[in-house]
Amino acid sequence: MQKQLVLLASAFTYRAQAFEAAARKLGIPVVRGEDVPPPMLDKANVRLPIDYRDVPRSAALIEAYAQEHPVGAIVGLDDSGTLIAAAACERLGLPHNAPEAALAARDKHIMRRKFAQAGVPSPRFRHFTFSDDPEIIADEVSYPCVIKPTVLSGSRGVMRVDHPLEFLHRWLQLKRIVENEGCDEFLVEDYVPGVEVALEGLLHDGALHPLALFDKPDPLDGPYFEETIYVTPSRLPAGVQEEIVRTAQQAAAALGLRQGPVHAELRVHQGQPVMIEMAARSIGGKCSKALRFEAGASLEELILRQAFGLPPAESGLPAASGVMMIPIPESGILAGVEGLEAAMNVPLIEEVEITAPLHRPILALPEGNSYLGFIFARGEAPEAVENALRKAHARLEIEILPQLALHL
């Protein structure tokens, strides 16, 4: 019987579809680990019901499934999925990251401690809980700083603070954001100036193989850190790019990551990379569509080839490419988006997609954790790709109504 791919994500969206498409291309059968509330686990009408709130139980459920259905690889698509994948792979003897390493890549406090212990260039930090007195903290920390939750992703809850009075305001904001997330901890880190980049790579027996280095040409100075444009290849000097890869390799070793995809975020200040975060998964959302490797291979195909021990595909990028994660300018009700055809008519633009549902509430940062949609471009040079993304975005007309308009 052919071995299956198990996909794990707390919510199945485009990422699962992209992996399923890559698996079909490679002839690999797929099963989704569906998130099922604990009372329904024994009655759920799905092939592989999983309780994402309980990592050991989820790993045991996958192990039981694998006794009747051979499993060749388990891939976590989000941060919750990576924890379960690591625990389940350990039970099944599949190539994997240690559960402790997966947790270190999930929990920002553990990550910061391990970076500091290993000498990885990273921001100085202090760890607090919401039971600590915010006024005392505000007087003790240095400014400018960044306050962030120890969990959550997509820049949600991450805020720059420039003085003590502002700290108290941001502390209240963060407390509201995490109150339903089961998180009572946060970090206060030194603010690191400079440009930001994202590195996409694959680890094999601990060695990092970089696949793409994205520039983020929009300044990320705060007060919130909403990512917008990613463009590859990077335009940074070759020597700086080499240092970025070395720093990411050092970070992966510090966390104990050895196998599979990683997505790293770094700042470059005065030519020196500073590690911000590293996730034990590939890039999120629909951004992977910006990467099209030699012979048309997708990022998901490269990941699955490694996971199943198949011959690797060529990992060169034949052209410059980029994506704009269309930012949400303000919270409210999305009433409409005009100018899609005009945006598509910009040279080099390949796709414009609005993913936020119309007539529904949308949240801007720091509370929000999604985008209005995505714009994709491809061309001969990164400068041309960036310009195309900006021109296409400028042609969109986004109408957002105040939330109270929903009740009128």
124-190 with 319-408: one CATH topology?
no
**Amino acid (one-letter) located at 352:** V
- Phi-psi region at 19: left, alpha or beta (left = phi > 0; alpha = psi -120 to 50): alpha
Q: Where are the domains of the chain?
A: 4-103, 124-190, 319-408
Residue, of 262 and 403, whose pLDDT is higher: 262
Helix (H, G, I), strand (E, B) or coil at 6: strand
Given a cut of 50, whether residue 408 has pLDDT beyond it is: no
Assigned superfamily of 319-408: ATP-grasp fold, B domain (3.30.470.20)
Write the single-letter amino acid at 370: S
Instruction: State the pLDDT at residue 405.
Output: 44
Cβ atoms < 10 Å from Cβ of 2: 9
- Report the number of secondary-structure helices (H) and strands (E) in the chain: 11, 19
The string of pLDDT tens digits covering residues 170-199 is 999 999 998 878 789 999 999 999 999 999
Sole residue written with tokens 């260039």: 121
266: confidence class by pLDDT, cuts 50, 70, 90: very high
Residues 42-55: pLDDT tens digits? 777 789 999 888 99
pTM of the entire predicted model: 0.93
* Average pLDDT rounded to a whole number, residues 152-156: 79
- How do residues 284-329 score in pLDDT, each as one tens digit? 889 999 999 998 999 999 999 999 999 989 889 999 999 999 999 9
Dihedral angle sign, alpha carbons of residues 142, 143, 146, 148:
positive
Q: What residues contact 311, with CB distance under 8 A and at least 6 apart?
A: 305
In our burial notation (b when 16+ CB lie closer than 10 A, e otherwise), range 396-405 reads bebebeeeee
Looking at per-residue confidence, does 41 or 108 come out higher? 108
**Top-level class of domain 124-190:** alpha beta
Among candidates 72, 88, 60, 132, which has minimal Cα distance to 310? Answer: 72
Task: Check whether 60 has a pLDDT greater than 80.
Answer: yes
Q: Per DSSP, what are the bridge partners of residue 207?
A: 204
Please give the Cα distance from 379 to 384 (Å, whole number). Answer: 7
Instruction: Compute how many other C-beta atoms are within 10 angstroms of the C-beta atom of residue 188.
Output: 24
Read off the pLDDT of each residue in 49-76 and give the average, rounded to a whole number.
94
Query: Please, which pLDDT band fits residue 369 given cuts at 50, 70 and 90?
Result: confident
pLDDT tens for residues 105-140? 999 999 999 999 999 999 999 999 999 999 999 999
Mean pLDDT of the chain: 93
How is 165-181 classified by DSSP, letter by letter?
HHHHHHHHHHHHHHTTT
Residue 407's pLDDT is 42
Q: How confident is the model at residue 404, as a pLDDT? A: 60
**Topology (CATH level 3) of domain 4-103:** Rossmann fold (3.40.50)
